[in-house]
Amino acid sequence: MSSLSTQAADTAHVDRYPSRQSDAAGLIDRRDPVVYGDNAPAAGPLTAAQLEAYDRDGFLLLPAYFSSDDVTALNRELDRLRADDDVKGRREAILEPEGRDLRSLFAADRISDVFGKLAGDDRLTKPVKQILDSQVFIHQARINLKPAFAGKEFYWHSDFETWHVEDGMPAMRAVSCSILLTENTPHNGPLMVVPGSHRKFVQCVGRTPEDHYKASLRKQEYGVPDHESLTRLVEDGGIEAPIGPAGSVLLFDCNTMHGSNSNISPSPRTNLFFVYNSVKNRLGPPFSGVHARPNFIAVRDDDAPVF
C-alpha cells in the first residue's frame, strides 16, 4: 500500500463529457475503455469470459463471493453502527426523506475499522485493478440501507455523471463494488441496471446548485436522465436486476445506468459500496464550476491509501 500523493495522474482535466450545461439533453458515445490494458485476463483473478461480460454489459455478478461467516461479521458491525445515535448525527449519515431511518452512511471505511480493512481486501482490489489496469484508491465508500416496508427508491442515474460534474472526475476509469449484506431478491428493491448503457453518456439538463449534495443524497433532482434518453437505453439493453444471496458481489462500471425501487417487502435490503478509482484518474475541480463536495463523499486526500 502506498499513498495517493506518490502516484502520477496522466488524465488531463478536460471536459470530454459536458453535462448540465444546457436545457437540452443528449447522448454521446463513451470516449474511454471499459476494461483497460492488453493483458487483463493474464493478470487474474477474473477470467477472459468474465471480463468480456463486464466489457459488454457494464456489470458482473459474483454470487456468494464471501462466506456466511464473513457476512455475519459484517452485519454485526453494521448493527453496531446503526444502533449508535452518534453515528446518525454525523454529517456522513443520510437519513430517509421522511423519518429518522438511516438511508446511507458515507465514509464507511473511515468510520469503521472493519469496513476499512475490507476495502483493502485482495478479494476486492485484485479484480478491480485487473479491470482498471492500475493501482486504485477509494473514491467513495457508503452503505445503502432499505429497511423492510420503508426503504425508499434511488432514481435512475449514472454515477459518473455526478462524479464528473460535481467532483471533477475526468475519465470513466472507476469501478463500483457492491457487497450484498442481505439477500437481494426481486421484491426488496434490488439494484437494477441497464446492460450496455455504460457505452453512452447521458447529458443531463439544468444547472447544478451550490451544495447540491445536501439535498441530492436524500432525493436527487439534478443529474438524472431525461425520459427519452433513458427509454432509448432500455430499448437497446433492457433492464436486469442482478440478485443473489448475501455475500455476493456486484462489480459495475461507473457509467452504468442504474437505480432501484422502494422496498415494500418484509425483507430488508442492505448493500455496502466501495468505489475504486484509478490513481491515473484523480479528481480535479468540478466541471460544474461549483465548490467541490466534501471529502467524505469524494476523496481528494493526498494521503488516501492506495491499493
pLDDT of 108-128, one tens digit each?
999 999 999 999 999 999 999
Q: Which of 88-102, 179-193, 195-209 is predicted with the least confidence, judged by mean pLDDT?
A: 88-102
pLDDT in tens, 80-99: 998 888 888 898 988 766 66
Q: What share of the chain is helix, strand, coil (3-state, %, to 5)?
A: 30, 25, 50
pTM: 0.91
C-alpha cell at 35: 476494461
Rounded Cα gap, residues 198 and 193, in angstroms: 10
Contact assessment for residue 258 and residue 213, using Cβ atoms and an 8 Å cutoff: no
- Quote the mean pLDDT of the chain: 89
Least confidently predicted of 53-57, 64-68, 206-210, 222-226: 206-210
Which architecture, in CATH terms, is 2-306?
Sandwich (2.60)
Q: How far apart are the first and last CA of the chain?
A: 5
Rg (CA), the chain: 18
Q: Is the pLDDT of residue 9 over 50?
A: no
Grid cell in block for residue 235: 430499448
Please tell me whether residue 88 adopts helix, strand or coil conformation.
helix
Confidence of residue 251 (pLDDT cuts 50, 70, 90): very high
